Structure 1
Amino acid sequence: MRGAVSAAAEIDGFGTDVDPTLAWCVAVGEWAPPVGEGRTTELWELLASTAAVDVAAARILEPHLDALTILAQAERSELRSPHDTWGVFAAESPDHRLRAEQSRTGWRLRGTKPWCSLASHLSRALVTATLDDGRRRLFAVDLRADGVRPHAGPWAARGLAQVVSAPVDFDDAPGEPVGEAGWYLERPGFAWGGMSVAACWWGAATRIAQRLLAPAQSANADQLSLVHLGKVDTALWSARAVLAEAADLVDDGRSRRVGERAVSERLRAVVADAATLTLAEAAAALGPGPLTRDEQFARNSADLHLYLQQHHGLRDVARIGREAARQGAAW
C-alpha cells in the first residue's frame, strides 16, 4: 500500500490531471481490500494516505472502490472489466428525477441525475433510479452509451475544481439492475461508504496539520503556536481513535448490532469536526501566506473545505441526537 501511494506522488499531475489519476485508481482497485471483510483498517489507511498526498486524488479513488465493493456485495462482479473506471451516482434532487422502466429489451433509464462526479471521464457508474412504485433501484450504466449525456456544468468550484459534479441526462439509456428494488439503501454496509469518505477527510487534515509543526518547533515558538498545534493534535488523535474502533466494529459485525447508520454518522461528525478545526487553526496560525504562495497547500485546503460539504452539519448531528434519545444513549 505504501509503495502504491509513494508511486502515486511521482505521477505527473496526480490529483490534478483526472485521466492518469483514474488509471492509478484502476490499478489500485485490483488489490485494494473491500470494507467489512477483515481489512477495513487497511482500506481506510489507503484512502487517508492518498488524501494526505492529494485530496482530489482520494476524492476520485473512493467512489471507484465503493462501486467495486457494491458489485461484490451484489454478486455482480462479472459486470467489471479490467480497465473500467467507476462512479456511484445516488444523489437525489427535487429539481431532477431519473426513472427506470422495464421494456421488452430490458431496463431503460429516462430523466436527469444530479451531482454525477466525473461523469464525462468515467466509463461506468452505479446509478439509483426511481421505479413506477416509487422505490429506488440500483443500475449499472455504460456512461459512453447512446442516450447518456453528461453536462459540463454548472461547476464554479474553487476546491476540487477538476472533479466536476454536474447532472447527467439519460434518454432511453440501457441499465443493468444491481440488486433488487430497495437493496442499495437497505443492504448491510450502506453506511460504509460514508465512513470511507471520512477516512479521506482525516488524511487530508493530517497533511494540512503538518504545516503547524515548524512554527511550534521553532526556538522562538510562542504559546499561541503551541496552542494551535495542541488543539489540532488532540482533535486528529481523537478522530483516528474513532476510525480505528469503527473499522473493528465493521469487520467483526458489531456495527450491525450498534446500528451501522449510527456508527457512520457519529464517526463522520467526529472526523468532520476535527478536519474543520484543523482548517481553522491552520488559517489562524499561519495567516494568508501559505494560502496565497503555496499552491499545494492552498489547493488541499480548498479541496478539503468543499469535500467536507458532504457532511450535512447540524442536520446530521440532529439525527445522532434523535437516535441517542431513542436508545437512551449508548455511551
Structure 2
Amino acid sequence: MACAQLTRLNDLLRDFSQRGIDHRGLDVPRQMQLLLTAGLADLPHPGHGATLLRWQMLAQVAAADLALVKLYEAHADALSILHELGVEPKQVEGLWAVWAAEPPYAQVVITSRRQNQVTLTGRKAWCSGAAHVDHAVMTVKNERDQPALVILEIKQPGVTVTTEGWQAVGMAAADSVEVIVEGAQATCIDETSLYIKRPGFWHGAAGIAACWIGAGLELARIVHRQAKRDPHSLAHLGAIESALGAAKIEMQVCARWVDAHPQEDAEFHARRLRATVETAMEAVMHHAGRALGATPYCRDPHFARLMADLPVFLRQSHAERDLERLGQLSLDRPQESWDL
C-alpha cells in the first residue's frame, strides 16, 4: 500500500513536470487542487506506524516544488492537528492551512463569543497560501490574553487577504502574506497551550525537515545527471553523497522513534533531525553550485527555483537558537545515548 501511494504521487508529480512547471510558480495552487482531488493529500498521521511514509510523501512533493510542498505540508499538518485534538469539523473539505506565527506586530484576539463560536479582530502574519486555502487552524489570544486555537473559514466577510508581508524572491509562490480579520467568525477548539504542548507539535516540526531533504535529494539528482566526470565535480558529488547519507539515516531513525513513542515528548529527536538536515542541505547547495557552475542557475528553471527557495525555507529554522536548545536538551540525556 505504501509503495502504491508513493508511486501514484510520483506519477502525478511527473505529469506536472511534463506539462511544464511555470518557473514563477503560477501553477502551484492548481497543482495543489489536483493533489487534493486525487486523494494524495491525505497523509498518514505521524506516530501511527507510517511516519516515514508521510515524510517520504512530503519529500517527493518538495523535490518537485518547495512552494507546492509548503501548501501540501500545511494541509496535512492541519488535518493531523485536528485528529490529535479529537476535533471533527463540519467543513472538512477543501484546502487547509496552519497559521501559528505570533510576532509582536501581528496579533489576532477574540473580542466576543457565543459558546465556542467566537469573533476575531487583528492581523495575522506569515499566512502561507492565504489566497488559496479554504480553512485555517489559527492561534489567537482570548479575552484574558491567553492562547487559544480556532478554525477560521477564509472566504467570509471580515477576512481580508492582503498582498503585504512578503518581499523575498525565494518561496514567492507560497504567498505567505498577512491576513486582516475584522469581526470574522471562527470556531474555538482549544483555550490552553495544548497546541504547542501536544506530542504532535514536534512531529510536525520534524516533518518540515522532510521537505528540506526532498529539495536536497532533487539537487543531488541534478548534479548526478549533469556533473562532468572530472576530479573536482566527482569530489563535490562525493560530498553531497556524504551529507545526504547522514540526513537520510537520521530521518529514518527519527521516524521509527516517533512511531514507537507516539505520546512522548519528541522535541529532542525533532530538533536533532532538523539540525542534521539543515547542515546537510547547506552542504548540498554549496557543492551543487560549485559542481555545476552558472549554467543551471541561469538556464534550468527547476534548479534555479530550488536554489532560490531552499535557503528561504531553511530559515524556518532559528539557527544558533535552535542549536543552543538542542545542546540544553542534550545535557539532560545520558552520555550513553551516543554509544554505537
Specify if TM > 0.5. yes
Q: Which residue of the partner structure matches residue 323 of structure 1?
A: 329
The 5 Å alignment of 1:70-219 reads 70-82=81-93, 84-104=94-114, 106-214=117-225, 218=228
Q: Which residue of the partner structure matches residue 302 of structure 2?
A: 296
The 5 Å alignment of 1:240-259 reads 240-253=248-261, 256=264, 259=265
Q: For 1:214-262, what per-residue CA distance to the aligned partner results, in whole angstroms no more than 9, with x for missing partners?
A: 466x5xx232222211111011111111111111111111772xx4111
Residue 55 of structure 1 and its aligned partner are, at CA, apart by 2.0
Q: Is the contact between residue 201 and residue 307 of structure 1 (CA under 8 Å) also seen in structure 2?
A: yes
The 5 Å alignment of 1:1-16 reads 1=5, 2-11=7-16, 12=19, 16=26
Say which SS state the counterpart of residue 200 (structure 2) adopts: coil
Residues of 1 paired with 2:26 and 2:318: CA distance?
Answer: 26
Residues of 2 paired with 1:255 and 1:5: CA distance?
Answer: 31
Is residue 67 of structure 2 the alignment partner of residue 56 of structure 1?
yes
TM-score normalised according to structure 1 size: 0.92
Stretch deviating more after TM superposition (16-25 or 161-170): 16-25
Instruction: Rate the CA distance shift 1:201–1:129 in 2: closer, same or farther, 3 A.
Output: same
Which of 229, 236, 241 is the equivalent residue of 1:233? Answer: 241
Instruction: Rate the CA distance shift 1:45–1:148 in 2: closer, same or farther, 3 A.
Output: same
Is residue 273 of structure 2 the alignment partner of residue 267 of structure 1?
yes
Say which SS state the counterpart of residue 78 (structure 1) adopts: coil
Q: Is the contact between residue 142 and residue 191 of structure 2 (CA under 8 Å) also seen in structure 1?
A: no
Residues of 1 paired with 2:258 and 2:161: CA distance?
Answer: 35
Residues of 1 paired with 2:198 and 2:110: CA distance?
Answer: 20
Residues of 2 paired with 1:81 and 1:13: CA distance?
Answer: 31
Q: Is the contact between residue 153 and residue 164 of structure 1 (CA under 8 Å) also seen in structure 2?
A: no
Residues of 1 paired with 2:262 and 2:81: CA distance?
Answer: 20
Residues of 2 paired with 1:58 and 1:244: CA distance?
Answer: 20
Say which SS state the counterpart of residue 190 (structure 2) adopts: coil
Say which SS state the counterpart of residue 201 (structure 2) adopts: coil
Residue 31 of structure 1 and its aligned partner are, at CA, apart by 3.9
Q: For this pair of structures, how many residues does the alignment match?
A: 325
Residues of 2 paired with 1:41 and 1:80: CA distance?
Answer: 28
Consecutive unaligned residues of structure 1, counting only runs of 5 or more, are none
Instruction: Rate the CA distance shift 1:263–1:91 in 2: closer, same or farther, 3 A.
Output: same
Residues of 1 paired with 2:30 and 2:267: CA distance?
Answer: 34
TM-score normalised according to structure 2 size: 0.90
Residues of 2 paired with 1:69 and 1:13: CA distance?
Answer: 32
Residues of 2 paired with 1:288 and 1:179: CA distance?
Answer: 51
Residue 289 of structure 1 and its aligned partner are, at CA, apart by 1.0
Identity %: 32
Say which SS state the counterpart of residue 169 (structure 1) adopts: strand
Q: Is the contact between residue 16 and residue 56 of structure 1 (CA under 8 Å) also seen in structure 2?
A: no
Q: Is the contact between residue 29 and residue 65 of structure 1 (CA under 8 Å) also seen in structure 2?
A: no
Residue 26 of structure 1 and its aligned partner are, at CA, apart by 2.1
Amino acid at match of 1:167: E
Residues of 2 paired with 1:195 and 1:263: CA distance?
Answer: 8
Q: For 1:112-160, what per-residue CA distance to the aligned partner results, in whole angstroms no more than 9, with x for missing partners?
A: 1111011111111000001233321110000111111111124222112
Q: Is the contact between residue 70 and residue 128 of structure 2 (CA under 8 Å) also seen in structure 1?
A: no
Consecutive unaligned residues of structure 2, counting only runs of 5 or more, are none
Q: Which residue of the partner structure matches residue 24 of structure 1?
A: 34
Residue 13 of structure 1 and its aligned partner are, at CA, apart by 6.0
Amino acid at match of 2:235: V
Q: Which residue of the partner structure matches residue 222 of structure 1?
A: 230
